[in-house]
Amino acid sequence: MIKKIAAIALSLSMVFPAIADILKVKNDAPEQYVVKKGDTLWDISAIYLEQPWLWPKLWRFNPQIDNPHLIYPGDMLSLVYDADGQPMLVMNQKYKKISPHGRKTMKKDGAIPTLPLELIRPYLTYEQAMDEEVMATKPYVLGGNSSAKNLVSGHILYVKGNLERSKYYGIYRKGEAYIDPETGEPLAHEAILVGTARAFRSGDIENGVPASVRVINSKREIHGSDFLMPAIEGQSLPAFFNLTKPEKKVDGLIIASTTKLREFSKLDVVVIDLGTEDEIKPGHIFDIRRQSPTVVDGSAGPKYLEDSSRFAKIAASTSEFFGIEQNADSTVWNMPKEKVGELMVFKVYNNLSYALVTGTLQPIRVGDVVSVE
């Protein structure tokens, strides 16, 4: 279902206070770099910066690259410094004798993107997180033009609901619930795309006449009770993400990953328990942090809590502050959270959001904290 769109780039801009304008280049950053096929602006910036989301500041003073989105495989970039000591990337014209004007007009379709759009495109178009009550209001599949239990491409489906003739629809199935880790209540459910269809009869639900659609393609077998929503394939994708940190300090958790694996890594899509109710917006950047294990320092020396006595575990569960003395012989040390990665929010709902893991220091896990320092 995912179609690679090489010609579309996510244009990101960044607004930070003046105190954040000074860029620190990595010690091992190369003086020159040749752009490779598959590179993104984020990847290149990560070679030079500890915080790759600051990439616009690395390019913005560039007199030779009017638009950094028009960088192509084979171009050589050089790291230089301006009169104020600010680093910037410039095109090495001696390496490739093609004028910027020629590059813009002749190679436009080959320009590298800011982020790999094809990875998040399904979540910007089809994939959804929805309330169970909302799902129940949607038109749903009654059956097909044969008695087959599992319906695939080419089948005609009959739908309880009024549809618009000639319009395309996504066919969805209710998936797992996204659970609030604090209350145990569902925040929303996955709406899993199972196929697409085109309506050729509108239906009349008041008179018991089903709508009819023909399945155009199927990702998996379609079942009765799968529900339909207008397909938004071809809808304009967001051209700009304004990469910023949230305006207020907010903490949340990674509650799921789309891979369903225990651990995941860079460019995986995750779900966090923060949304519009927390003033989260697409483009917000978060650190991913993990709680370091608690240590009990007693008469036998320091031990991790999991290796300590039952009494120490009970005492630790009631401790709310760093280094509280539990008795004369032992101290419970609640260790800090350490950074293990970064993510960028790209799709926001009321109380949860989809985010792309943009960098990792360790494998990321469900339960890791997302925060703004």
146-178 pLDDT, tens per residue?
A: 776 666 667 899 999 999 999 989 899 999 999
Domain for residue 349, yes or no? yes
- 178: which 2 tokens? 């996204």
Judgement on whether residues 144 and 170 belong to the same structural domain of the protein: yes
Judgement on whether residues 262 and 366 belong to the same structural domain of the protein: yes
Judgement on whether residues 331 and 342 belong to the same structural domain of the protein: no
Number of residues assigned to the chain = 373
Judgement on whether residues 352 and 326 belong to the same structural domain of the protein: no
Judgement on whether residues 263 and 279 belong to the same structural domain of the protein: yes
Structural domain boundaries, residue 301:
295-335
Domain for residue 235, yes or no? no
Judgement on whether residues 76 and 116 belong to the same structural domain of the protein: yes
What is the chain's Cα-based Rg? 26
pLDDT at residue 364, as a whole number: 95
Domain for residue 1, yes or no? no
Please, what is the average pLDDT of the chain? 77
Judgement on whether residues 21 and 87 belong to the same structural domain of the protein: yes
End residue of a domain, out of 120, 151, 169: 120
Q: Please name the amino acid found at residue 48.
A: Y
Judgement on whether residues 279 and 359 belong to the same structural domain of the protein: yes
End residue of a domain, out of 82, 102, 120: 120
Domain for residue 139, yes or no? yes
Alpha helices, DSSP H only, in the chain?
41-48, 55-59, 100-106, 117-125, 132-135, 310-317
Judgement on whether residues 92 and 138 belong to the same structural domain of the protein: no
CB 331 within 8 A of CB 323: yes
Domain for residue 2, yes or no? no
End residue of a domain, out of 68, 90, 120: 120
- 279: which 2 tokens? 């003033």
CB 193 within 8 A of CB 1: yes
Nearest-CA neighbor of 89 among 111, 54, 61?
A: 61
Q: How far apart are the first and last CA of the chain?
A: 38
Judgement on whether residues 167 and 210 belong to the same structural domain of the protein: yes
Look at the alpha carbons of 362, 16, 20, 113 in this order and tell me if their dihedral is positive or negative: positive
CB 357 within 8 A of CB 46: no
How many domains does the structure of the chain reveal? 4
Q: What's 349's domain CATH number?
A: 2.40.30
Q: What's 224's domain CATH number?
A: 2.40.10
CB 53 within 8 A of CB 243: yes
In DSSP terms, 370 is beta-bridged to 252, 288
> Which DSSP string do the residues of 232-276 spell out, in sequence order?
-TTPPPPSEEEEB--SS---EEEEEETT--SEE-TT-EEEES--G
Say how far apart CA 326 and CA 331 lie, in whole Å: 6
Neighbours of 96 (CB within 10 A): 14
Tell me the helix, strand and coil percentages in the chain, rounded to 5. Answer: 15, 40, 45
Domain for residue 142, yes or no? yes
Judgement on whether residues 95 and 147 belong to the same structural domain of the protein: no
In DSSP terms, 169 is beta-bridged to 197, 230
pLDDT at residue 5, as a whole number: 27
**Distance, C-alpha 58 to centroid of its chain:** 23
pLDDT at residue 30, as a whole number: 93
Domain for residue 68, yes or no? yes
Domain for residue 238, yes or no? no
Say how far apart CA 274 and CA 220 lie, in whole Å: 30
Nearest-CA neighbor of 8 among 267, 237, 232?
A: 237
Judgement on whether residues 359 and 251 belong to the same structural domain of the protein: yes
Contacts of 229 (CB under 8 A, 6+ apart): 128, 138, 169, 170, 172, 191
Look at the alpha carbons of 151, 212, 189, 147 in this order and tell me if their dihedral is positive or negative: negative
Low-confidence ranges of the chain (pLDDT < 70): 1-22, 51-54, 56, 60-70, 93-119, 121, 124-125, 148-153, 232-241, 308-329
pLDDT at residue 212, as a whole number: 97
- 67: which 2 tokens? 């638009």
Neighbours of 248 (CB within 10 A): 8
